[in-house]
Amino acid sequence: MWLTDARVVDVVAGEVRDGVSVEISGGRIGAIQKQPGAGEQMSLEGRYLVPGLISVHTHLSMVYPFSDTDENENPGLTVLRAYGRAQDALRSGITTLRSVHELNRADLLLAEAARAGWADVPRIVGAGRAISTPGGHGEGHGSVIADGPEAFREAALAELDAGCAHIKVFITGGIANMGETFDQPQMTSAEMAAAVGAASERDAYVVAHAASSLAINQALDVGIRSFEHAYDLDEDTARRMAAEGVFLTPTLCVTRSQEWMRWKGFEEFQIETSLQVGPMHLASIRRAVAAGVTMVTGTDYPPGDPIEGTSVTVYEMGLMQGAGLRPRLALAAATSTAARLLGLESEIGTIEEGKAADLVAVEENPLDDTAAMRGISFVMQSGRVVRDDRPAA
């Protein structure tokens, strides 16, 4: 099958190839050339063809408001809740997602169901359950609780045995829990090192919920390479993150979605805290962008949820652009750069021969402005059209 009359977006070079045809064969991208070869054709009528989006910070199983979470919930229910959100994500153009903690390891169960052909969902790169210190940020949300380096090592190995691709920890507090602060580390360096050690033995890595600089520096010392939120990041730490080539997921939307939070039944103190932290968070991410930190896109909230007339993920891309990230880098953050973080750069993240045929089409050039991604009208995953609501020619 050939997708014809496409403008193929190269997110790495920042270029567009006009008027080309893309071969789709066996779920993969085949030849990319001027004229289509033999076989069925589907004209994109000059639309921009973009790699399928990758969201690297998702919680498909989260309960809103958080206070309704039942840590002893039947896993069947957890997976059903996660399944709906995974389907929303796929329809909104997210063809791959990294989960960073799911109740009852719903991500791993859903991924297994997808492999068996029972569930239409994005490619899921799972964390299983996060690991938290006692009384830490993950307490009360179904995380594994560990105290001391040996316990962290054991917990990490258990999640890896269950099939997770990375280990999620909380190195500071956050903004979700009553009375919580986030300026101090919640893990010792030895605990962080134990998690990193266990992950490295299985070619995995550690991703840290990380609000502030002191803990991020500790984590950098022991080899953590994926950081989430950075509500309060100083300039020196931003420069160090850039120099060491680690990844930052800003999740700007979590301090800029008060209406969405109200809709989901968040408690008033959570909405207020997110509003209060907003300016500090944006200033931090501006510093990170200016320092050249490698950015990836994730949202905490269900990535395909509607917000501000688009999906949470596309909303986040716009916020990253608003923090000073050039449109090409904001697009790469949700495609090629994210693929590199996941270690899947040979499989997804760009439109190249041999890669998975994970594609979306839009009307405008997203290299000029990621707002173009608001107009996704066509989604293909592994060569299969999962959405096509382009107006009839």
Q: Which parts of this chain interact with Zn ion (CB under 5 A)?
A: 300
Task: Output 99 or 337, the one with its CB closest to Zn ion.
Answer: 99
**Which is nearest to 49 in space by CA: 297, 376, 280?**
376
CA distance 190 to 77: 36
Task: Output 159 or 300, the one with its CB closest to Zn ion.
Answer: 300
**Which is nearest to 253 in space by CA: 317, 344, 167, 339?**
317
Kindly state the smallest distance separating residue 301's Cβ from Zn ion, in Å.
9
**28-33/15-25 β-pairing:** antiparallel
Q: Which residue is nearest to Zn ion (CB)?
A: 300
The CB density around residue 328, as the number of other CB atoms within 10 Å, is 20
Kindly state the smallest distance separating residue 333's Cβ from Zn ion, in Å.
17
**Which is nearest to 99 in space by CA: 193, 226, 246?**
226
The pair of structure tokens assigned to 9 is: 């977006």
CA distance 307 to 44: 27
184, 214 in Cβ contact below 8 A? Answer: yes
CA distance 347 to 340: 10
Kindly state the smallest distance separating residue 356's Cβ from Zn ion, in Å.
26
Kindly state the smallest distance separating residue 245's Cβ from Zn ion, in Å.
23
The pair of structure tokens assigned to 296 is: 């990836």
Task: Output 30 or 174, the one with its CB closest to Zn ion.
Answer: 174
The pair of structure tokens assigned to 45 is: 């009528």
Task: Output 153 or 168, the one with its CB closest to Zn ion.
Answer: 168
| 382 burial level (CB within 10 Å; 0-12, 13-18, 19+) | middle
User: Which residues, at least 6 apart from 256, have a Cβ–Cβ distance to it below 8 Å?
Assistant: 274, 278, 319
Kindly state the smallest distance separating residue 125's Cβ from Zn ion, in Å.
15
Task: Output 21 or 270, the one with its CB closest to Zn ion.
Answer: 270
Task: Output 88 or 228, the one with its CB closest to Zn ion.
Answer: 228
CA distance 97 to 122: 7
Kindly state the smallest distance separating residue 261's Cβ from Zn ion, in Å.
14
Beta bridge partners of 23: 2
| 345 burial level (CB within 10 Å; 0-12, 13-18, 19+) | middle
Kindly state the smallest distance separating residue 64's Cβ from Zn ion, in Å.
13
Task: Output 95 or 132, the one with its CB closest to Zn ion.
Answer: 132
Task: Output 137 or 328, the one with its CB closest to Zn ion.
Answer: 137
CA distance 321 to 337: 15
Kindly state the smallest distance separating residue 57's Cβ from Zn ion, in Å.
6
Query: What single DSSP character describes residue 392?
Result: P
Kindly state the smallest distance separating residue 298's Cβ from Zn ion, in Å.
8
The pair of structure tokens assigned to 363 is: 């009307």
Task: Output 88 or 300, the one with its CB closest to Zn ion.
Answer: 300
Kindly state the smallest distance separating residue 107's Cβ from Zn ion, in Å.
13
CA distance 374 to 360: 11
Task: Output 55 or 381, the one with its CB closest to Zn ion.
Answer: 55
